[in-house]
Homo-oligomer: A and B are copies of this chain.
Amino acid sequence: MGHQFYPTKVGDYMTLEKTLLMIPGPVNVSPRVLRAMAKPVINHRSPEFGKRTLEINEMLKKVFKTNNDIIILTSSGTGGVEAALANTIKAGDKVLVCVNGAFGERARNIAEVYNADIIDVNADWGKAISSKDVKEKLTQDTKAVVMVYNETSTGVQNPIGEVGEIVKQTNTLFIVDAISGLGGHYVGVDEFGIDICVVGSQKCLAAPPGLAFVSISSKAWKVIELNKPRSLYFDLVRAKSFLQKDPPQTPFTPAVSTFYGLHEALKIVEEEGLENWIKRHEIIAKATREGIKAMGLELFADEKVASNTVTPIKYPAGINDKEFRKTMRTKYLVEVAGGQKQLSGKIFRIGHLGTVTSSDIISTLSAVEMAMNDFGIKIEPGVGLSAAQRVFRG
């Protein structure tokens, strides 16, 4: 079964420093970003921190391709989605929610908690939502359309460009969970007509987890400002008013160190350039898919709408998910994710987002080949690697 390098003990952080984190977020955070977080924690209402906050805000606007306001919340991405709904939806409001995976379901859960009158638009898991279905179910009194852009659970991109085109001609708000998509795909928030766009720090932008970014269009502000907020912590009007103070600040104490990390992570994006950053994700995703197919394994998602940031792979019959991923992790030091909800045990997912390189993908595919071999699936050594390399060579 080959020599085992670095036998892992659970809780052994030394080994973890040699382990590739290839899950769809959080992602490997650059040492530069980790070092930035070691700056002293300062007063969150000081001019220095206000200046830093504004800088981050401007950097985020470039990444979002928007002139809209951006609010930074100390929460996970889900907190950002909750903020979007808590500020726009009144009990009984008609909300069209698109569901084709676990994160669509989560958005629907939030709409339920806020007592929305939910109109469902579904697609099979692994397929994209049809913009035609959205158009058909959209009515004059639909308050909002909620769509997950990059469905992390299935590796599918939903058609936010097409849906944005439809919704922008109405009074309905277009709310997009782009948590794991923006930065790995081209998302033009203003161009697509996204009224509220939510992104998480620990995904394509490769910052540490703990922050959510919420962009808000003037069309959305008009709705929000007339509403009574249904959460204090997620009150966007309050957040905006604090951002406009001198110095700019947040209503409640923010995760100061994570802001430092985010600032450095965004500088790294700027250095590569957003266009190159996205292009890298695209190439790496394609290399991953070609590598997997060359091994004779089956992709889960419809390739026409495949995500640039996560690739789910169907398990060949007879492979136990937990055992396989344990082998990947402890023997080959590559951590991949399992399936969620109804896909649990049926697929594994390779996350390839953030500062991911061709070396990371080659290492990951090699670990998949060897682990599959350990489980009795015959794969010619290196067949996936050469296929991936062909993509990298262009």
Contacts and interface: CB of A to CB of B under 8 A. Distances in A.
A234 to B, nearest CB: 8
Contacts of A210: 74, 210, 254-258
Interface in A1-50: 10-13, 16-17, 19, 21, 23, 25-29, 31, 34-35, 37-44, 46-48
Contacts of A12: 48
Contacts of A19: 42
A38 B35 contact: yes
A74 B202 CA distance: 13
Nearest to A16: B42
Interface stretch (A169-177, A225-233, A276-284): A225-233
User: What's the number of copies of this chain in the assembled complex?
Assistant: 2
Interface stretch (A75-83, A118-126, A154-162): A75-83
Interface stretch (A105-113, A360-368, A380-388): A105-113
Interface in A108-163: 109-110, 113
A230 B113 contact: yes
Nearest to A79: B233
Given A16-B40, A233-B78, A11 B51 contact: yes
Given A46-B335, A51-B10, A253 B21 contact: no
A204 to B, nearest CB: 14
B39 A13 contact: yes
A202 B233 CA distance: 17
Interface in A171-209: 200, 202, 208-209
Nearest to A179: B253
B233 A48 contact: no
A261 interface: yes
A186 to B, nearest CB: 24
Contacts of A38: 31, 34-35, 37-38
Given A10-B51, A11-B47, A40 B17 contact: yes
A75 to B, nearest CB: 6
18 contacts: A11-B52, A13-B40, A29-B40, A37-B37, A43-B335, A74-B76, A75-B79, A77-B252, A78-B233, A78-B251, A79-B252, A113-B228, A113-B231, A113-B232, A208-B256, A210-B258, A233-B234, A255-B255
Interface of A: 10-13, 16-17, 19, 21, 23, 25-29, 31, 34-35, 37-44, 46-48, 51-52, 74-79, 82, 86, 106, 109-110, 113, 200, 202, 208-210, 228-235, 251-258, 261, 335, 337
Closest CB pairs A-B (n = 8): A210-B255, A76-B252, A34-B38, A78-B252, A29-B41, A208-B257, A10-B47, A79-B233
